């Protein structure tokens, strides 16, 4: 500890260089945390996808809805066990809308939807209460906890989607709080809000249509064939469909199809490696400038190991500062992501978006590693530097 003031004084010596190095590291960790959080959020969603479920949507885009009558036709296709309509409502609380309180909310056909999605566990009484009340809604336990809701609480939501805007907010009454069974159904999102599709239809005077059809198939191994059959059925219709497995739908929903993890990790590795080179160069410059001082320290009796340790501690402090700042920036960015224009729409599809302790710890670890790795070579040079050679060449 007695050497710490000495190390800190050196870091303050060229504060612009120290500051820019810390910022470079912070940007690296910020990117890492943000990208990894997005990957984790996507994976979290995909983890809960069932192999026996398909999702049918408009072939052009999710923006367009399909006729409600498609439900009966899909239900008649061989292999289809059950069909439920589900619409992304995009409702936000508050006037004007407060996007910091955003959560995912869907208009669904309660009986069929809950039969297809057994992971949303409700007691029979709660189910019956939900089915019976047209304004009823069920919510996840985390969402209920976040807003302090209980059964009977009233909630007002106004949609951001034009066809669902009726000049006033929709009013809901909480009928039940579904439970999450992470053992049987890992990855189940406990922050969702479901309400009656009929309520949406009636309030919008039947303008709602069907955003997606959630389909349960009899045989998971025939899911792909059933999906093709559905799309083939509507091939010559005005509104053609696109049917995918639930996992493919969730990945495609955010237009992040393809190997998302590889792409984002590739970006992360490239940035990290670049920052490593920049930091290593900065550290080398800082140590090269101090060659005389290193020789003087050794002359005064500072052992080579101690000199090396002082430089490594300096690099470590840069890493800790960069990592800390990067985490703060990353957490702030992930927090505001859902309220940003354009990208916020995508981010809001992942209600579980949040900087996890594991990602934060990994990010911080990378920063510490970067600092130490960048400082290692200059520290070794200082360790090996012979006093007489160094003093002779200055």
Choice between 301 and 341, CB closer to another protein: 301
Choice between 235 and 305, CB closer to another protein: 305
- Minimum distance of another protein from residue 393's CB (angstroms): 13
Beta strands per DSSP E along the chain = 53-58, 80-88, 91-92, 105-108, 136-139, 154-159, 170-177, 193-196, 212-217, 241-245
As separate numbers, helices (DSSP H) first and strands (DSSP E) second, the chain gives 15, 10
Choice between 154 and 388, CB closer to another protein: 388
- Minimum distance of another protein from residue 12's CB (angstroms): 7
Under 8 Å between Cβ of 239 and 223: no
Name the site residues for another protein (rule: CB under 8 A).
2-3, 6, 9-10, 12-13, 292-293, 295-305, 387-388, 391
Q: What six digits make up the tokens of 322? A: 């960069």
Q: What six digits make up the tokens of 363? A: 């990010």
Choice between 124 and 305, CB closer to another protein: 305
Question: What would the DSSP string read from start to end of 210-259?
Answer: BSEEEEEES-GGGHHHHHHHHHHHTTTSSS-EEEEEHHHHHHHHTT--S-
Q: What six digits make up the tokens of 373? A: 């790795």
- Minimum distance of another protein from residue 179's CB (angstroms): 59
Q: What distance, in Å, lies between the first and last C-alpha atoms of the chain?
A: 30
CA distance 37 to 108: 28
- Minimum distance of another protein from residue 368's CB (angstroms): 24
- Minimum distance of another protein from residue 15's CB (angstroms): 11
- Minimum distance of another protein from residue 31's CB (angstroms): 33
């Amino acid at each position: 500890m007695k050497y710490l003031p000495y190390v800190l004084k050196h870091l303050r010596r060229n504060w612009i260089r120290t500051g820019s190095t810390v910022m470079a590291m912070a940007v690296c960790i910020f990117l890492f945390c943000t990208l990894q959080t997005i990957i984790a959020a996507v994976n979290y969603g995909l983890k809960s996808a069932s192999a026996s479920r398909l999702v049918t949507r408009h072939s052009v885009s999710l923006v367009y809805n399909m006729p409600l009558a498609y439900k009966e036709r899909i239900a008649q296709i061989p292999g289809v066990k059950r069909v439920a309509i589900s619409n992304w409502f995009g409702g936000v609380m508050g006037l004007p809308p407060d996007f910091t309180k955003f959560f995912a909310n869907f208009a669904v056909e309660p009986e069929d939807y809950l039969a297809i999605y057994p992971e949303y566990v409700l007691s029979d009484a709660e189910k019956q209460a939900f089915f019976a009340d047209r304004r009823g809604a069920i919510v996840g336990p985390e969402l209920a906890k976040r807003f302090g809701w209980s059964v009977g609480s009233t909630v007002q939501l106004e949609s951001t989607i034009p066809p669902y805007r009726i000049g006033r907010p929709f009013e809901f009454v909480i009928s039940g709080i579904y439970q999450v069974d992470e053992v049987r159904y890992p990855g189940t999102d406990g922050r969702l809000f479901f309400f009656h599709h009929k309520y949406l239809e009636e309030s919008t005077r039947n303008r709602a249509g069907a955003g997606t059809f959630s389909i349960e198939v009899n045989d998971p191994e025939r899911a792909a064939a059933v999906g093709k059959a559905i799309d083939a059925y509507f091939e010559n219709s005005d509104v053609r469909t696109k049917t995918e497995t639930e996992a493919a739908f969730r990945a495609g929903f955010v237009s992040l199809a393809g190997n998302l993890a590889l792409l984002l990790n590739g970006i992360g590795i490239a940035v990290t490696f670049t920052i490593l080179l920049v930091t290593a160069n900065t550290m080398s410059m800082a140590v090269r400038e101090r060659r005389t001082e290193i020789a003087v320290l050794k002359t005064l009796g500072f052992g080579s190991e101690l000199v090396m340790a002082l430089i490594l501690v300096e690099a470590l402090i840069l890493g800790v500062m960069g990592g800390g700042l990067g985490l703060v920036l990353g957490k702030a960015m992930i927090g505001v992501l859902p309220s940003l224009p354009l990208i916020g729409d995508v981010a809001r599809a992942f209600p579980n978006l949040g900087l996890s302790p594991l990602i934060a710890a990994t990010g911080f670890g990378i920063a510490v590693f970067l600092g130490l790795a960048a400082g290692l070579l200059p520290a070794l040079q200082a360790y090996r530097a012979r006093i007489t050679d160094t003093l002779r060449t200055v």
